[in-house]
Amino acid sequence: MTHMKNLVVLSVLLSTGTVLAASPADTLVIQSSAEVITMDPGAMYDVISAPVIVNVYETLLTYKGSSLQQLVPALATKWTAGSGGKTYTFDLRQGVKFQNGDVMTCVDAEYTFRRNLVTNESSAGNWFLSESLLGTQANANDDKSITWARISAAAKCNGQGQLVLSLPKVDPAFLSKIAYVGQGILDRKYSASIGEWDGTEATWKSWVGKDVSGSALNKKPNGTGPYKLVRQDASSMLFTAHDSYWGGKPSIKNVVRQKVPELAARQQAFLRGDADMIDGGGRAVDEAQLKGKPGVTWVDDLPNTNTVAIFMNENIKNSALLGSGKLDGQGIPANFFGDADVRRAFAYLFNYAQYTKDVFKGRGVELTMMLPTTFPGYDPKISVYKYDPKQAEAAFKRAFGGNIWKNGFTFTANYRAGSTSSQTALEFLKQSVEALNPKFKMNLQAKQASELSVDAGKGMEPMTVLSWSPDYADPDNFMYTFYSSSGWFYPRSNFKDATIDKWLDQARATIDTAERNKLYSQVGRRAHDLAPVIYLPQEVKYLMYSSRLSGAPLTKAGYNPLTFLPWAELAKK
């Protein structure tokens, strides 16, 4: 009877997005404000999909416990470096089964890395893998020197069934890159059977740069991880434990992930016990409405490795958000944010202290650069912008020959639907901007996460809030990514500075930590002057979850922001 009751509850969970009674002990219920963008690891590059994919797919290496530096075996059992650090040979775990029953072999790992090098689409996270293995962030469409011979030589199985990854030059961050969630190992035979690339030279060119976010693997994933997807629709996903999982049977049998856009609905479900974990409304809201309530466990003072900024696009490729497209008070030109004084003015108009107080209840840090405070290279001595309307007015009057202050402007900024923090940040800025000059107008509107991610990557968003979670634990992953004109964020901001580019390239060319830190400080100081983005305060991270849950990843000692939340390490009573 208990089993039948649980099936009924699961049916209600999946069909309505809400339940009528507390969720069963064998089921973890997670409610989120946004949909999962993709279930294809090769396309994943967002903090919404990653916490789900990490439970379905596995990488060769992973991080040990709460460490951000120490790597341990996952699907690889050991590895050795050769050729002066330019080759890595991996012994693979034997007897590992994919969720469809196929046995993992070296061919699957080889296929995975080759597929990621072949597709390497701009909105995915394979650019830094390609950079290491091929010496370029580009795919074969954009860099004609990339051939099948180069791709196949970069990732291949040797006669002993070991995977050999070969680099054109030493990359001290390479092993950390291999632990990135998006390098989860795929089943070559299964992938080909459902219409994905077959892994051969004959067909590789037709898959170069292909957007696989909506691939067959997105709809029917098949990893080696502890949970498999068995059902999904527009608002919910059901995962069940992988019975043949090499790491042992998970304690929690089922995981239901629901998209519930309304914060109030998520809060009510959490307090009733219908949901075990939810997207909150930010520290101020969560502390006021959820902390200390019966059935809620709160863990505070966790490390935050995320950085968040308001991006100002210097070459906007979407006329629909620009109004008239002119500086006539009814719009803005596409290069509006190309004027450094415009960017400085907006930076002076964000009320950082008030935002920290209202949103984080004072538990926040004003960043001096787009690098977590816990990472090497962070310089706390760099100046920061403070809310200063007079400085903003002076900057606006300098910009575009004074025409901005005289004529005003109108444009639309989009934020991720369901993201309270993004919406609040832009509302803070809008209020200050429109109070400064009655001719200034910022329109705000919500946009679905998947659409916003794609449009931002195409340079179509004038201004939006974007965040970054580290792919691997090295400052280059932030500094180069944010500030370089060859970095991942460049198409989103179109910010380019030759001096900053030179310093970032120099930092990549040395293993001298002190020299790298010095260069990053120089980048941070120059970026402060040029104001390519508005740094949002970094909040002190916290977790809240049902008191029915337990497990090391939910504790301060066991929490790791780079492995997200491994469901298999949790228990529920």
* pLDDT range class, residue 17, cuts 50, 70, 90: very low
CATH superfamily of 61-219: Dipeptide-binding Protein; Domain 1 (3.90.76.10)
- Tell me the average pLDDT of the chain: 93
pLDDT at residue number 14: 59
Mean pLDDT of 135-158: 97
* pLDDT range class, residue 472, cuts 50, 70, 90: confident
DSSP assignment of 314-337 equals SS---GGGSBTSSSSSSB--TTGG
3-state DSSP assignment of residue 513: helix
Residue 277 to residue 285: CA distance in whole angstroms: 16
* pLDDT range class, residue 167, cuts 50, 70, 90: very high
pLDDT at residue number 508: 84
pLDDT at residue number 13: 56
DSSP 8: H
Where are the domains positioned within the chain? 2-35+234-303+540-572, 61-219, 307-539
CA dist list (Å): 21 to 10, 343, 351: 11, 51, 43
pLDDT at residue number 450: 86
Residue 418 to residue 44: CA distance in whole angstroms: 20
* pLDDT range class, residue 5, cuts 50, 70, 90: very low
Residue 278 to residue 258: CA distance in whole angstroms: 9
Identify the weakest region by mean pLDDT among 191-195, 556-560, 561-565: 561-565
CATH number of the domain located at residue range(s) 2-35+234-303+540-572 in this protein: 3.40.190.10
What are residue 166's DSSP bridge partners? 87
307-539 shares the fold of 61-219 = no
Mean pLDDT of 469-495: 92
Task: Write out pLDDT tens, residues 265-290.
Answer: 999 999 999 999 999 998 989 999 99
H or E element, residue 524: helix 513-530
CATH number of the domain located at residue range(s) 307-539 in this protein: 3.10.105.10
Answer for the pair 164, 170: CB distance below 8 angstroms, yes or no.
no
Token digits of residue 35: 């949909």
* pLDDT range class, residue 20, cuts 50, 70, 90: very low
